[in-house]
Chain A
Amino acid sequence: MAIRAKAQSKSSLAVQTPRTTGLREFFERHFSRLVPLPAAVTMALLIIFPLAFNVYMSLHSWFVSSTTPPHFVGIKNFVEIFGKDARFWNAVWITVKFTAIGVFLQLGLGLAIALYLHRDFRGRGIVRTVMLLPMVSTPVAVALIWVVMFNPSLGVLNYFLSLLGFKPLVWLGHPRTVLPSLILMDIWKWTPFMVLIIHAGLQSLPFTPFEAARIDGASRWQLFRFITLPLLRPTIAVALIFRTMDSLKTFDTIYVMTEGGPNNASEILNIYVFQTGFKYFHMGYASALAVILVVFVFAVNLFLIRLRERSWSY
């Protein structure tokens, strides 16, 4: 009886639940898929479609001008890029140098500054805020100011050098000095980013290992080398991945400062892609270059992420 009543009440409950309109039910059932739909569509339109179209274009030859429309050439663009294009290999080499040296120095400096800031002292808040200014300022505006500072005749950097008794440099004005100058500017701009992340990492480190080590009589260097650094590894890896990704596809500052000159001495891949596409209007070829750049950035980061997962996590 009781069971029956229960069953009855259950069935009546089912009957009571109103058969809602199809739409509502549909929404109810697919809620988790419907909510992100607008975002997914936007993504597809803004990211996946252009990327796919870019790959499609990279298999074509299209010089925007004559009456010849784009025509399919298969992998000819890629064959030419890898086989014959000295300018491409130059750009790859410069991109690698710019990123490797720049990011490495930023990491070193960033680590040092973060450790320095990881103490209590008066005005720490102000120092931390001021530190971030280069990072948050507009890249193009910053680049223009650096151009003026770098100017060998009118700029302030040579003035400082002369005060210190050094000979003036031509900075951006010579193939040999242009890349170090750009790296200098990049360090100024992006070291704060490293500081920010590493500093946050430092603050989240657990206390206990340090205490234990101190009780065991570890020196400060040993503390840093065997406790802080290993514990910081995941943080450092994240900072490295972000910066490397960013640095590999730098465009704005270098374009404003040198346009890749003098004579391609600072032409990183992204600038070469831009010149080929929007200055020379070889759209197919530029698309092929862009595909290579994307794959390159992707591969490097995949490598870093793997590295982080395998050996740098704890």
Chain B
Amino acid sequence: MKRRTVCVGMVAVLVLIGSLVVPAFTWAQKFDWQMHKGTSIRVMANKNASGEAIQALVPDFEKLTGIKVQYETFTEDQYRQKVLLELAAGTGGVDAIQTATAQEGLKFWRSGWYEPLDDYLKNPRLTDPNFDLSDISKPSLMGNTYDGKLVALPTTQQTTMLYYRKDLFEKYKIKVPQTLAEMEEAAKKLHNTEDSGQKIMGIVLRGKKAAATSQWAPYLLSMGGSWLTKDGKPAMNSPEAVQAFDLYGRLLRNYGPPGAVNYHWYECVSLFVQGKAAMYTDVSNRIFYFEDPAKSQIVGKVGYALFPAGSAGRKPTMEVWSVAVASKSKKKEAAYLFVQWAASKENILKMHLKGAPSVRAFAWKDPKFLADQKHKDWIEASLKSLDIASTEWNPPVVAVSEVRDVVGAVIVSSILGENVKAEADKANAEMAKIMEKTEGK
């Protein structure tokens, strides 16, 4: 009898302890935004649409997590220098960065500056169960993967598409170009026609050395070329690449503005919004200039189309901006919370509505967004790109800026009507030299 009561008592105590311990255990495993309340992190970002959209929403994050964020934005060139020097110093002074992996990814990864995120994403204690990685554009995730490790979470993207003047195309009864050949044909037909008293140029594209390379990339890929051969050697003098250089230069030389070799996107947009060009290929958020009555004389006249197909099919490129955790950070978990928050569905939708186009498909179908955005062809082209685009708008090398200058020189030569093949050979050799110098193992 006595022994029995003891037994019952023991069982009761055990149950009691168990009921305390088990929830405590599961609680420890559960995700909590507030887990690093009170700490502070430093984030460095580019002063572009994406970086500024995140900046505007940082107070949300601070309220959600109780983490204080020192968020610093710089203009692009400065941002690249500062982030690089900060990471190279290796003092852990910065916890999270905004990053365009196509620009600096390989360099940062090889230098060991990115914290791989796979383990964080798998950890239920650290990752919100609502985070849903599967909704993020596959190509953008692939672009952020090095040696099988995901190094950054994508937030926003810009895809290269074709802008064309609907009114002119109708007037001259030209179909929207589906292929690059049709595009050249259309440029030829429309070049030197007149519209509201001014001469029209067939097409405008970036022509300024390094700046042009990123918008030349979809031409290269669509025409079956690639930056590197399969064994990682430069492929800038392959027949496909030479064709792409040739077409790009020919378009600008014959149907583009004089002095195109000095055209960065800004000059292209200026020309286009003044109604002086019939077509333009560039990244998708140019829509905000075209459809702004304060800046543009062609509001409502622009059609938006997927980048035309070449011999290798549709290969638009997509510029993805992501956020990453700095490997030397002393507050990696808090930094990861920030990165995760920035790429979360809720935040991405908010940014998307503010004009920083989403890498998650769902945001493009959001009713509020659809009510705002009247240009269905723009949405369609963007959405399609999310699935099929390549993120290689830059050469996949360590010394991106240097190689861009070398490749850009061929584009300029082509615009000027010089011998493209010879220039491409020269550039290829130079690119090989740079790669050996900066990647040589």
Binding site for B on A (CB under 8 A): 63-67, 151-154, 168, 170-175, 258-259, 261-264, 275, 278-281
Contacts and interface: CB of A to CB of B under 8 A. Distances in A.
B259 A261 contact: no
Given A154-B274, A263-B412, A280-B402, A173 B259 contact: yes
Interface string B401-422: 1100100010011001000000
A278 B412 contact: no
B149 interface: no
B405 A275 contact: yes
Interface stretch (B106-114, B315-323, B350-358, B377-385): B106-114
Given A154-B274, A261-B262, A280-B399, 7 more contacts: A64-B88, A67-B110, A153-B201, A173-B261, A174-B259, A263-B261, A278-B81
B111 A65 contact: yes
B257 interface: yes
B56 interface: no
> Which of A170, A173, A280 counts the most chain B CB atoms within 10 A?
A173
Contacts of A168: 258
Contacts of A262: 208-209, 261-262, 412, 416
> Which of B111, B261, B401, B437 counts the most chain A CB atoms within 10 A?
B261
B345 interface: no
- 6 closest A-B pairs by beta carbon, nearest first, are A173-B259, A152-B259, A262-B261, A152-B258, A170-B259, A280-B402
B209 A263 contact: yes
A173 B260 contact: yes
Nearest to B270: A154
B110 to A, nearest CB: 6
Nearest to B267: A151
A263 B276 contact: no
Contact of A64 (B85, B271, B276, B405): B85
A175 B416 contact: yes
A259 B270 CA distance: 20
B398 interface: yes
29 contacts: A63-B399, A63-B437, A64-B88, A65-B84, A65-B88, A65-B108, A66-B107, A151-B259, A152-B257, A152-B258, A153-B201, A153-B257, A153-B259, A153-B271, A153-B276, A154-B270, A168-B258, A172-B262, A173-B260, A173-B261, A259-B208, A259-B209, A261-B209, A262-B261, A263-B409, A275-B405, A278-B77, A278-B81, A280-B401
B438 interface: yes
A171 B402 contact: no
Contacts of B77: 278-279
Interface of A is mostly: loop
Contacts of B276: 153
B259 A171 contact: yes
Contacts of A174: 259, 261, 416
Interface residues of B, number: 35
A236 B35 CA distance: 72
Contacts of A263: 209, 261, 409, 412-413
B110 A258 contact: no
Nearest to A148: B270
Given A67-B111, A263-B412, A154 B261 contact: no
A308 B208 CA distance: 43
A122 B276 CA distance: 47
B262 to A, nearest CB: 5
Given A263-B413, A279-B401, A65 B438 contact: yes
A151 B438 CA distance: 37
Contacts of B267: 151
A258 B262 CA distance: 7
Nearest to B84: A64
Contacts of B398: 65-66
B413 A261 contact: no
Contact of A66 (B85, B111, B271): B111
A168 B257 CA distance: 12
A50 B108 CA distance: 28
Nearest to B104: A65
Given A64-B84, A262-B416, A279 B261 contact: no
A175 B418 CA distance: 12
A151 B270 CA distance: 11
B110 A154 contact: no
B78 to A, nearest CB: 10
Contacts of A264: 409
B262 A154 contact: no
A90 B32 CA distance: 60
